[in-house]
Amino acid sequence: MTTGLYRAAQGTHVTAEMPIYLDHNATTPILPAVVDAMLPYLRQHFGNPSSGHVYGRRAHAAVERARGQVAGLLGCDDDEVIFTSGGTEANNLAIRGVVEARNDRRHIVATAIEHPATEQPCAWLERHGMRVTRIGVDVDGRARVEEARAAIDAATALVTVMHSNNETGVLQPIAGFAGLAHAVGAILHTDAAQSAGKVALDVRELGVDLLSVAGHKLYAPKGVGALYIRRGTPMVPFVLGAGHERGLRPGTENVAAIVGLGMACEIAGSDMETVAACVAALRDDLWQRLAAAVPGVMLNGHRTLRLPNTLNVRFPRVSGNTILQGAPEIAASTGSACHAGGESASAVILAMGVAADDAIGSIRLTLGRGTTAADIEVTADALVRSWRSASLA
């Protein structure tokens, strides 16, 4: 694992101003090697990749090298990778691009637990005449393939299912959905923003036609992403301009960020199994510590079919936000929504059949390359102390 990413200047001392970072599903720090790869394209290699002179050719070569690095992580050909401004744009291009290209079909199938970057484009299309069917999930947070079997039909243009859930980390049955989609001639898209760099992604084995990547989820900069588009997939741009990125994503490429994404993908591909095993062991240690000290604490999501870094736990009788407020040594999130005068439970946890009064006690703890065994010990102690204090209040 790559350590020393956090609190480098402060050593191992944990404070409220520099807490243990356990929110890697929200964003990740940029790896030092990624920064190093980017710097030349921020300092001296400033050319426009579309220019024909040496400055442009140098930038163009960097973009194409990065395209190959992303393709290497996904198991596809270089020309099947399109660069975007992030996972949200990649999802919008995938969903709206396919639906507009296949306007003879007026049906979309999604799941009830999609990220807003997928759900909102579907909802927008629904308001503009598309029929959208949302598939539910079981108690483990896995989308129901049999429910999808009944929903996908000859009118279906697109099936979109996230590869792993951003709150629970639960891995979804993508291959099963792909088989159902392709049987009726529909396109299969998966939002893999949380999965890329954490677990193996082979687009051929998954059977997907489209796959979205977000750079800042795998130690690359914010504001850059990619979309895998299987060769031959019908697609039109929803942003109009010049002919960049095969005419599907106009706008001069963000060369430095693209270089960073490429390097992050190369690093992820080189040590993924080792990092995943280390992070999963720390995650499981954290769960065991919490389970031993908090009677009634529950795991949200499938015990094994989930991302190696993700632990979503449900504390009894106390809201997740209350627990986090009482544990300033930790930077984490709940996944629930806070509003003036109240707090609502996570829609993802509710979709799994958890009662609202119980779901509100959920906390998402997501580890990363910089997480240490000492971090886990401090985190467990802080959460247990906060829960006990809140339970007595």
Q: Tell me the pLDDT band of 336, cut-offs 50, 70 and 90.
A: low
What global pTM score does this model have? 0.95
Measured CA to CA, the distance from residue 358 to residue 247 in angstroms comes to: 48
What Å distances lie between residue 104 and 59, 98, 158, CA to CA? 40, 11, 12
Measured CA to CA, the distance from residue 45 to residue 254 in angstroms comes to: 12
CATH number of 33-267: 3.40.640.10
Residue 4 confidence (pLDDT): 47
Residue 117 confidence (pLDDT): 97
Nearest Cα to 139, choosing from 161, 113, 121? 113
Burial classification of residue 205, based on how many CB atoms lie within 10 Å of its CB (0-12 exposed, 13-18 middle, 19 or more buried): exposed
> Where are the chain's structural domains?
20-30+271-392, 33-267
Nearest Cα to 61, choosing from 78, 75, 74? 78
Measured CA to CA, the distance from residue 271 to residue 369 in angstroms comes to: 11
Q: Tell me the pLDDT band of 202, cut-offs 50, 70 and 90.
A: very high
Burial classification of residue 320, based on how many CB atoms lie within 10 Å of its CB (0-12 exposed, 13-18 middle, 19 or more buried): buried
Measured CA to CA, the distance from residue 101 to residue 184 in angstroms comes to: 17
Residue 133 φ/ψ, nearest 5 degrees: -110, 130
Measured CA to CA, the distance from residue 181 to residue 231 in angstroms comes to: 17
Burial classification of residue 84, based on how many CB atoms lie within 10 Å of its CB (0-12 exposed, 13-18 middle, 19 or more buried): buried
Mean pLDDT of the chain, nearest integer:
94
Catalytic hit among 76, 265, 278, 338: 338
Residues 210-232 pLDDT 10s: 999 999 999 999 999 999 999 99
Across residues 317-338, what is the average pLDDT? 90
Residues 237-283 pLDDT 10s: 999 999 899 889 999 999 999 999 999 999 999 999 999 999 999 99
Residue showing tokens 């919008």: 92
Across residues 165-186, what is the average pLDDT? 98
Residue 3 confidence (pLDDT): 46
- Taking each continuous run of H as one helix and of E as one strand, the counts in the chain are 13, 14
Let me know: does 122 contact 110? Beta carbons within 8 Å: yes
**Degrees (nearest 5) of the Cα angle 369, 254, 193?**
40
DSSP letter string over 166-198? TTT-BBP-HHHHHHHHHHTT-EEEEE-TTTBTT
Let me know: does 108 contact 263? Beta carbons within 8 Å: no
Residue 247 confidence (pLDDT): 87
Residues 8-21 pLDDT 10s: 433 457 777 899 99
- Share above pLDDT 70 across residues of the chain, in percent, rounded to a whole number: 95
CATH number of 20-30+271-392: 3.90.1150.10
Residue 11 confidence (pLDDT): 44
Residues 135-161 pLDDT 10s: 999 999 999 999 999 999 999 999 999
Question: Residue 14 is encoded by which pair of tokens?
Answer: 């944990």
Residue 352 confidence (pLDDT): 97
Across residues 380-385, what is the average pLDDT? 98
Q: Is 338 a catalytic residue?
A: yes
Residue 17 confidence (pLDDT): 81
User: How many CB atoms within 10 Å of residue 361?
Assistant: 28
